[in-house]
Amino acid sequence: MGYLLKNCDFVLTWINDELRILRDVDIAIDNGLIISVGKAIEGHLEEINCSNHVVIPGLVNAHTHTPMSLLRGFYDDAELMTWLNKMWIVENELTRDIVSLSSELSIIEMIMSGTTAFIDMYHYPDVVADIASRYGLRAALGPTFIDILKSPTLVENELRNFMSRYGNSSLVRPIINVHSIYTVGKDTLLRIRDLSHELDLPIQIHVSETRDEVYEAKRKYGVFPVEYLNSLGLISSKSQLIHLGWVTSWELSIIAKANARVTHAPTSNMKLATAGHFPMRELMEMGVIVTLGTDGPASNNSLDMFREMKMAVLLQRHSYWDVSIKAMHAFRAATVNGYRLLGPRGGCLGNGCVADLVLLDLGSPRLQPIRDDNILSNIVYSADGSDVDIVIVNGRIIYDKSRDYQVLRERARRIGERLNDFTRKFL
């Protein structure tokens, strides 16, 4: 099954870490990969007319909690720990059915807004993985270690089962989720390190999200969170560190030296008033791979990666009092860097690059005027998910607005009603 994207007005792609803007080209896709890019390509592939469209690499939501659409707008006005405690009350009573419905709702929202892959942390990851696969979306996820709610032995068993079920999937990538150093004890952290080596799995963890977390670590362990994790052997090229709003400057070299990956979640940090500053410029200068995530729909409350890209630039400029962070940096974080973190070669258009692409409709008034020199700006600062027309993952069209728009909306509406039946008792 292949496609030929004909006459794309604009194509944005990364070549050797440089953003390139191509005009009026065709893109041939076969067997899940991009096989050719250029003028007037011919071939026995199904043609898709891409005039009046810009083709961009798929957006990677590098950190979310997909099923939390259940709790969208449920409790907006609290700081992180108060908020988490409220979330946990509801989450204690979650069922596979509810997780299935709420992750489906988020997955619908994600594909409709141009997300081609997401990295998830939540209960029942097998349920989320199945829904993602059914919709054709890439996902990296796995069971979550969180000692205060669940025994680590239980999570380890879940993880081994998850591995054996999804270890060979083309769309699902198992990872080890670790909630945080304040909800997971030292013994469990050491066990996680060993599991990561044994099973060759990446680790995703919330780190240095609040000032309290950082102070508490210093008080309890005499060191800051990244130092603490490093002392346990948990900072490596397999680690994905989320938030880092209160990371110290000297911890940055630990991250850079280990080639650990980092994820910025600006909207969620602002909404939960965690303050602090994710040092994006320093991290980039040190060569660290910076990615971008919306965090869950209960703390954002959107899963629109276009909005998140804009938010990242704005918050960084506000914090640095300068304009050193530009649209390009957010676009890189959300595309090619997301793929570096995930595994498959994406964000590019060469041979062997995965065919994870988004076709944006150029007709929206908010995107005018359009030229080579402002197309990226318009995508990052003016577009939103509603401009997405077609989403291709692994060479397959997983969303086509002209075909799927009404069906998905009706499905989402029905899911919403069923979720309300569940949450009403907590109101």
Residues 119-178 that bind its own copies (CB under 8 A): none
Which listed range, 65-73, 133-141, 196-204, 251-259, lies at the site for its own copies (CB under 8 A)? Answer: 65-73
According to CB under 8 A, which one of 239, 378, 390, 394 is a site residue for its own copies?
378
Q: Based on CB atoms, which residue is closest to its own copies, 27 or 56?
A: 56
**Residue 401 binds to its own copies (criterion: CB under 8 A):** no
Angle at 338 between CA 139 and CA 39, to 5 degrees: 105
Does 84 bind its own copies (CB under 8 A)? Our answer is no
Nearer to its own copies, 327 or 334 (CB): 327
Considering only residues 109, 126, 251, 295, which one is a binding residue for its own copies as defined by CB under 8 A?
109
Q: Minimum distance from CB of 385 to its own copies (Å)?
A: 8
Q: Binding residue for its own copies (CB under 8 A) from 32, 340, 370, 400? A: 370
Instruction: Find, among 70, 73, 24, the residue nearest to 50 by Cα.
Output: 24
Only segment of 104-112, 163-171, 229-237, 257-265 that touches its own copies (CB under 8 A)? 104-112
- Residues 243 and 269: beta-carbon distance below 8 Å: yes
| Burial (0-12, 13-18, 19+ Cβ within 10 Å), 277 | middle
CB of 55 to its own copies, least distance (A): 18
Residue with Cβ nearer its own copies (190 or 407): 407
To the nearest whole angstrom, how small is the minimum distance from the Cβ of residue 401 to its own copies?
12
Of the pair 108, 397, the CB lying nearest its own copies is at 108
Q: Which two tokens stand for residue 372?
A: 């080579």
Numbers of helices and strands, H then E, in the chain: 15, 18
By the 10 Å C-beta count (0-12 exposed, 13-18 middle, 19+ buried), 408 is classed as buried
* Binds its own copies (CB under 8 A): choice among 61, 66, 103, 113: 113
**Is residue 89 close enough to count as binding its own copies by CB under 8 A?**
no
Site for its own copies, residues 267 to 296, rule: CB under 8 A: 267, 269-273, 275
Residues 294-333 that bind its own copies (CB under 8 A): 297, 300-304, 307, 311, 313-315, 317-318, 320-323, 326-327
Residue with Cβ nearer its own copies (79 or 187): 79
Nearer residue to its own copies within complex by CB, 290 or 415: 415
Q: Which of 27, 59, 105, 163 binds its own copies (CB under 8 A)?
A: 105
Of 266, 200, 272, nearest to 237 by C-alpha is: 200
Residues 2, 395 contacting (CB under 8 angstroms)? yes
When the beta carbons of 334 and 362 are compared against its own copies, the nearer one is 362
Going by their DSSP bridges, the two strands 396-400 and 388-393 should be labelled as antiparallel
Q: Which is nearer to its own copies, 4 or 107 (CB)?
A: 107
- Among 123, 177, 190, CA closest to 145: 177
Q: Which residues contact 232 (CB under 8 A, 6 or more apart)?
A: 186, 189, 190, 193
Tell me: does residue 42 bind its own copies (CB under 8 A).
no
| Contact (CB, 8 A) for 34 and 355 | yes
> How many other CB atoms are there within 10 angstroms of residue 32's CB atom?
17
Query: If binding means CB under 8 A, how many residues of this protein chain bind its own copies?
Result: 72
Contacts of 130 (CB under 8 A, 6+ apart): 100
Helix (H) or strand (E) holding 261: strand 261-264
